[in-house]
């Protein structure tokens, strides 16, 4: 497949987490210039997987330090989790949730923290407070109940089942590897011709979903990516009504910056749901030429807010 690609309908993954790029996917893949015949798509911060599933490359290395995310998608890839299994599990446990309420949610949460079952992980992701994915320092899922005892209606279960089946169908003919590892290990595997898409936790915002991420980590990521012979694109917040992110100008010099404005709807506090200007920092030579994008698609799919070279 050759990029850029125009996406008319976004494929939504079954796992939810804060900072999910569902609204930004058309913007991201429409601004990347790359040919997947030349190498692998590498994602060191897989998260929900929404960018990977919509970019849909032939070959990919998808990694994350969150072992539960990696295991969940491996199980779908291997057929250990399918639509029928998901439906039966959510119907039974959704019924128990409606009968027992928050006590049953916390029972599932304790069971997951002891055993790490992928179906329990899916259940928690879709019934916890605000779809927030958060783990404490000991690696235990600690998000409270979302207070919707009738969360798993028949229609809602069918929606999740369809998402699982769609993701499995996408993976079937692909050479994709899911690996639980540090981002440095993933980027170290990149070669000339590969393309690295990076969506790290955002510095300065409370979006951590598994482990800590500091400004020092963000600086190291910039150094590693820019030393790589592969192409890259980095998702990062650029600013909101309160402040601007100076990190991009300071550490991603030479990158092409494309911007997109939207609202976050997943977050634990109202302060995380303000209008945000998102940036995509792209290695020079890998940014799509916007003149080639049909006018009819620019507003609906890109909502372009500008393009400039960081100097």
> How far is CA 250 from each of CA 10, 82, 189, 231, 279, rounded to the nearest angstrom?
33, 45, 26, 20, 14
**Portions of the chain given CATH number 3.40.50.150:** 2-65+181-309
Query: For residue 154, is pLDDT > 80?
Result: yes
**Portions of the chain given CATH number 1.10.1020.10:** 79-167
Query: For residue 222, is pLDDT > 90?
Result: yes
The model carries a pTM of 0.87
Residues whose CB is less than 8 angstroms from the CB of residue 92 and which lie 6 or more positions away in sequence, other chains included: none
Could you tell me which residue, 207 or 210, shows the higher pLDDT?
210
Task: Supply the pLDDT for residue 50.
Answer: 97
Gap between the Cα atoms of 90 and 140, Å rounded: 22
User: What digits encode the pLDDT tens for the residues 63-76?
Assistant: 999 999 999 999 99
Under the banding of pLDDT at 50, 70 and 90, the label for residue 170 is very high
What DSSP string runs through 283-295? -TT-BPPGGGS-H
Query: What DSSP state is assigned to residue 145?
Result: B
User: What digits encode the pLDDT tens for the residues 286-295?
Assistant: 999 866 444 3
Gap between the Cα atoms of 96 and 103, Å rounded: 10
User: What digits encode the pLDDT tens for the residues 80-91?
Assistant: 999 999 999 999
Q: Which residue has the tokens 């920092």?
A: 281
Give, in words, the CATH class of 2-65+181-309.
Answer: alpha beta
Q: Mean pLDDT of all residues in the chain? A: 88
CATH number for region 79-167: 1.10.1020.10
Task: Supply the pLDDT for residue 132.
Answer: 86
Q: How many other CB atoms are found less than 10 A from the CB of residue 150? A: 9
Q: Which residue has the tokens 């798509």?
A: 41
Could you tell me which residue, 268 or 6, shows the higher pLDDT?
6
Alpha helices in the chain (DSSP H): 25-30, 50-55, 67-78, 83-100, 102-115, 118-127, 154-171, 183-188, 215-227, 247-251, 295-297
């Amino acid at each position: 497949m050759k990029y850029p690609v125009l996406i008319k309908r976004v494929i939504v993954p079954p796992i939810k987490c804060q900072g999910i790029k569902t609204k930004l996917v058309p913007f991201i893949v429409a601004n990347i210039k790359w040919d997947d015949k030349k190498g692998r798509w590498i994602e060191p911060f897989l998260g929900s997987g929404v960018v990977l599933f919509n970019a849909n490359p032939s070959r990919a290395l998808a990694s994350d330090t969150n072992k539960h995310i990696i295991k969940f998608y491996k199980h779908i890839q291997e057929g250990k989790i399918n639509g029928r299994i998901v439906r039966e599990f959510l119907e039974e446990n959704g019924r128990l949730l409606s009968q027992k309420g928050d006590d049953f949610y916390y029972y599932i949460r304790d069971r997951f923290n002891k055993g790490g079952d992928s179906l329990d992980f899916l259940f928690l992701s879709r019934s916890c407070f605000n779809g927030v994915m958060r783990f404490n320092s000991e690696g235990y899922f600690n998000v409270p109940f979302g207070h919707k005892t009738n969360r798993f209606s028949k229609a809602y279960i069918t929606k999740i089942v369809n998402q699982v089946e769609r993701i499995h169908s996408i993976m079937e003919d692909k050479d994709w590897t899911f690996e639980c590892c540090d981002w440095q290990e993933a980027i170290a595997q990149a070669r000339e011709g590969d393309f690295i898409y990076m969506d790290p936790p955002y510095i300065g915002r409370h979006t951590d979903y598994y482990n800590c991420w500091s400004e020092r980590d963000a600086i190291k990521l910039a150094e590693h990516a820019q030393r790589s012979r592969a192409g890259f694109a980095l998702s990062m917040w650029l600013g909101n009504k309160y402040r601007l992110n100076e990190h991009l100008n300071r550490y991603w010099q030479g990158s092409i910056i494309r911007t997109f404005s939207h609202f976050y709807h997943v977050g634990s506090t109202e302060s995380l749901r303000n209008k945000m200007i998102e940036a995509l920092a792209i290695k020079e030579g890998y940014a799509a030429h916007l003149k080639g994008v049909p006018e009819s698609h620019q507003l609906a799919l890109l909502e372009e807010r500008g393009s400039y070279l960081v100097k």
